[in-house]
Amino acid sequence: MRPLVLGAWLATAAPGVATALAPTSVTLIGDLQSELGCASDSDPTCATTQLTLDASDGIWQKGFSVPAGTWKYKVAIDGSLAETYGGPGGADITLTLASAATVKFYFDPVGHWVTSDKNAVIATAAGSFQSELGCPGDWQPDCLRTWLQDPDGDGLYTFTTTALPVGTYEMKAALNEGWTESYGQDGGSSNLSFNVPAAGTEMIFTWNSVTKKPTVREVGAPVGDIVQARAQWVAPDTLAWSPENAPEGSTFRLHHQPDGAMRLTSSGIQGGESFTLTVDPAGLSAELKARFPLVKDALALKVPQAELARVPEYLKGQLVVSVTPPGGVLADATSVQTAGVLDALYAYTGPLGVAFETGVVGPTLRLWAPTARKVDLLLFDSSTAAQPSSRVAMQAGEHGVWSVSGDASWKNRFYLYEVEVYVRKEQAVKLNQVTDPYSVSLAVNSTRSQMVDLRDRALAPSGWDTVQKPALEAPEDIVLYELHVRDFSIHDSTVPEAERGTFKAFTRDSNGTKHLARLAKAGVTHVHLLPVFDIATIQENRASQSQPAGDLSTFAPDAEEQQAAVHAVRDADGFNWGYDPYHYTVPEGSYSTQPDGSVRITEFREMVQSLNQRGLRVVMDVVYNHTNSSGQDPQSVLDRIVPGYYHRLNGVGNVETSTCCQNTATENVMMEKLMVDSLVTWAREYKVDGFRFDLMGHHMKANMLHVRAALDALTLEKDGVDGKAIYLYGEGWDFGEVQGNARGTNATQLNMPGTGIGTFSDRLRDAARGGGPFDDARYQGFISGLFYDPNGFAQGTSDPKTLLLQHMDRIRVGLAGNLRDYSFTSVEDKAVKGSEVSYNGSPAGYTLDPQEVITYVSAHDNETLFDAIQLKAPRNASMDTRVRMHNMGISLVALAQGIPFFHAGDELLRSKSLDRNSYNSGDWFNRLDFTYQSNNWGVGLPPYDDNKDNWPFFKTLLADPALKPAPAHIAQALAHFEEVVRIRKSSRLFRLRTAAEIQQRVRFENTGSEQTPGLIVMSIQGDAPAAQGEFEHAVVFFNATGEEQRFTAEAFKSQALVLHPVQQESADPTVRTASFDSAAGTFVVPARSTVVFVKNPASSDDGGCDCASANGTAFSALGLLLGLSAMLRRRHAR
């Protein structure tokens, strides 16, 4: 269709002109008016069918309830038939409804387009530019100032404006004034970015309703864009491209130029050489479609046989593909993405980085840089030397690997690579000095790499080779404790000041290490460390780190001053969560007492050794899904060596950023290799016991299986570690450009069952707490009072009781290992499987084995569990009540089948003063206190950026002295945590190994429509007779309500059930009042309590409270046989 300058007009026209032309009224007229309440049809004076002017976007609009039938309509201006508008030529518009419906009608007073949401798609260009055009804000699909219109009905919706300032923006085509259906880059979910080169530039936005693709371009600009890369070179002889316009008989050409001198002009491609590509009518092969789903429907363009030998040469320079119709005028042109052909030609399986090889005196360095023209090694005499002491040319070898060998004097020298390479985004050849992506040691602040031998005895603490791992029989025995290295000790006065916030602090006999030992004794098995690799966003030199100004403790608990002081230095202090990878395989320097050089290696190993000696294994939080930077940014490593390869690109060749940062492409062979090699290094050289994958769903399932296989290959005899004992888990969220397997089968919750790799389950988390991360923080759940103790805030439902009962079903699934096939009776009185219980339209249960679920209610993301309770509990709830709500959440996690996960401080009522995103909130808001005197509640309003909308509500809570827990409350929470973890440890009944065992042994009472709301009853059947140290039966009651509950069941009559030995000596006197009448089969469960009854309690020196787990003989042959097949395929720890 012919583009019109439409929606922006009202935002930019002179006020006098707008007033002169604007109608005073717009009336919907036609044969439907009498049906809508007018006295007659075609009446321009009927007020009933007048549209309403939306002052925010200048469009006349209104919805009416229209009966079924075929109707004719148009609009009349200012109450007269003298000026009317309808379809093409002013004709009536036909509306046909099979049934009565609410129809919204629209009229644009500038372009005079009349339509309804039943005649046309209501599409808007929603994005980061809308506020510039007069919308109330950006990303507002209901602001029709950016209305994409299609008056001629050809399916091309357009909007044109000259009012955008210079800049780079992003957009999507949003339909029906909302986000339910929207289309971004290439019709997908990623935002489409575009540039406005100068003020007053006329920009046309187009959405194709057939292909679903939006485009934005400068009116009159040459067709195509050779900075963008919309074509992909997927195999040496094949390119894939979907040009915007390619009529029958068009000619396709591949243009190449070594230095980036080609330019796109109105007369075509200028510069370079080219050859003809032929279209393969069969399209891409099935193999290529599977590998490159983004272009599966593209044309397959074949490279002539005669040109194949020169492909490596072409890949080192500028590449453009063009299409010219028979008329001879260029129709489209674009640059080329090359990851596929690089994989095909240069995939490499050997060593990279620095290698000190047996029998060789000096190191050998290898760098994968297949598109580089030249690579030199720059050697420095120190980490701070201004200039290199020598420059050594590296030699290009097979598979795109450049290498050089040195003598013994190179050991421990600092170095950089200097890489000469063509960069598409710059359209130029660049000379980049860059660190080694395979670095194992670095200068302070990562300015240079260092050649160290990780096998050097000088880098190993005493006893490193003989470190004994704490016993672990199976993954289900794992209890995870998520901890930030700096949080752990930065405020601990029992740690030497120079070592606070470092790896070294874990080696000291401090309040913190005593606390960890206490948790390990109770049953915690693994410390999960937030990122400890080299981080891009922390100043490593402590002397250069900034501190918040003033004494923040002097301000009121609801004051703004604390967050303002923290914000002022947030990017210059020593704190960050660390999800900003710089070098994947080097310990973070700010966590070392000496960040310049290899001391960080030794201190990391000392930390692992010390934690192992205290009974704790170590998990690393790894972030291979993105890097901090890309392109020519100084902190970009990968992209300045092989531009455009290591990162996941969208349909126009821009780096995807759905992770928050620069997404990597582990579907590419060498990015996967970097991830696998890095993980093997951490496992073998640092004896790391597990890896948690940040945004694991952004990796492919195949990536994770290759990681698993590489770690499984590590053995005690060969490598000093048992790779099969290393546990893997991650965030299996499905979103962004990979959502729905859009880039291949990704490692999401629903794709990973059967792999033995764990994923975090949000099902139990949300059901327990209430709401989700993006809901109002006052939504209640099972532990926080939904239905049985309402907080007075609307809960998003008219039936909170039913919502509570549905939450309880989701929790039951979670307690049963979140198994896909676990069956029980639902709230609808139906026998259902876990997969048939709904969680926001997805299956609640999805695992095939209990080791595949990470059960949690609190993590570093979002509010801490205590803060969530503060927000959700009734305003008048006492602190004792709030602590018991909090403890109920801990109980659900600790006693669920699968693998429990706790955020550090969960056991201490940890607060971040209501901060929901403390990634850069400094030491002040992230404080941990292992003296148990404070939980950090009420240390000021949380940082403005992520919390400002809730400040008014937060102030009322933070200012209330009754909501600050006393040390006695913290002690109560810690005692409860220890007790439930000890109960878990006391019996394998709480750590069943297979899905078959769980289905056989776990059942739920108090289910169905007549159940007691707020009470979950879980029965776990053991063997009879039980093995030494085991129980024949356990019955667990989770009574979240504020009332004592009596529960009777025929099945429990005459059973010799007693309170668990741990709870017989509980620090909680309320729990000790729980009782069981065997003759009646009646249990008495106190309010807001978790109570465990057992049959045949273990007899041991400590009453079963601190016993080691029973071994495999604890269950009968029947139980073992039921799980045999699953156990054979699973990787149990040793």
Which helix (DSSP H) or strand (DSSP E) does residue 866 occupy? helix 865-872
Which helix (DSSP H) or strand (DSSP E) does residue 93 occupy? strand 93-97
Per-residue exposure over 577-599, b if at least 16 CB sit within 10 Å of its own CB, e if not: bbbbbbbbbbbbbbbbbbbbbbb
Helices 865-872, 879-894: crossing angle, 10 deg rounding:
130
Q: Is 821 exposed, middle or buried, given 0-12, 13-18 or 19+ CB atoms closer than 10 A? A: middle
Alpha helical stretches, state H, 713-859: 716-719, 762-769, 800-815
- In DSSP notation, 958-982 reads HT-GGGSPPHHHHHHHHHHHHHHHH
CA-to-CA separations, 655 to 192, 315, 626, in angstroms, rounded: 11, 19, 10
Count of beta carbons in the 10 Å neighbourhood of residue 964: 15
Which residue in 232, 1094, 1134, 224 sits closest to 724, CA to CA?
A: 1134
The answer to whether 381 is a known catalytic residue is no
Which helix (DSSP H) or strand (DSSP E) does residue 617 occupy? strand 617-622
Q: Are 1000 and 1092 in contact (CB under 8 A)?
A: no
Q: Is 509 exposed, middle or buried, given 0-12, 13-18 or 19+ CB atoms closer than 10 A? A: exposed
Which helix (DSSP H) or strand (DSSP E) does residue 984 occupy? helix 967-986
CA–CA gap between residue 689 and residue 1133 (Å, rounded) = 10
CA–CA gap between residue 444 and residue 544 (Å, rounded) = 12
Token pair for residue 138?
A: 């950006």
Which helix (DSSP H) or strand (DSSP E) does residue 705 occupy? helix 701-712
Which residue in 32, 154, 177 sits closest to 92, CA to CA?
A: 32
- Respond yes or no on whether the N-terminal peptide bond of residue 437 is cis (omega within 30° of 0): no
Candidate list 731, 737, 809, 923, residue with the active-site label = 731
The answer to whether 789 is a known catalytic residue is no
CA-to-CA separations, 679 to 209, 617, 921, in angstroms, rounded: 45, 16, 29
Helices 865-872, 762-769: crossing angle, 10 deg rounding:
40
The angle subtended at Cα 140 by Cα 134 and Cα 141, nearest 5°, is 115
Write the single-letter amino acid at 660: C
CA–CA gap between residue 1108 and residue 1110 (Å, rounded) = 6
Candidate list 177, 672, 694, 789, residue with the active-site label = 694
Which residues, listed in sequence order, are joined to residue 402 by a DSSP beta bridge? 367, 396
Token pair for residue 1090?
A: 């978790």
DSSP state of 442: B
Q: Are 908 and 932 in contact (CB under 8 A)?
A: yes
Which residue in 546, 541, 647, 610 sits closest to 229, CA to CA?
A: 647
Per-residue exposure over 122-159, b if at least 16 CB sit within 10 Å of its own CB, e if not: bbbbbbebbebbbbeebbbbbbbbbbbbbbeeeebbbb
Kind of pairing between the strands at 853-855 and 842-843: unpaired
DSSP state of 258: T
Q: Are 470 and 479 in contact (CB under 8 A)?
A: no
Count of beta carbons in the 10 Å neighbourhood of residue 974: 20
User: Half-sphere exposure of residue 37, counting CA atoms within 13 Å on the CB side?
Assistant: 7
User: Half-sphere exposure of residue 92, counting CA atoms within 13 Å on the CB side?
Assistant: 12
Report, as residue numbers or ranges, the catalytic residues. Answer: 694, 731
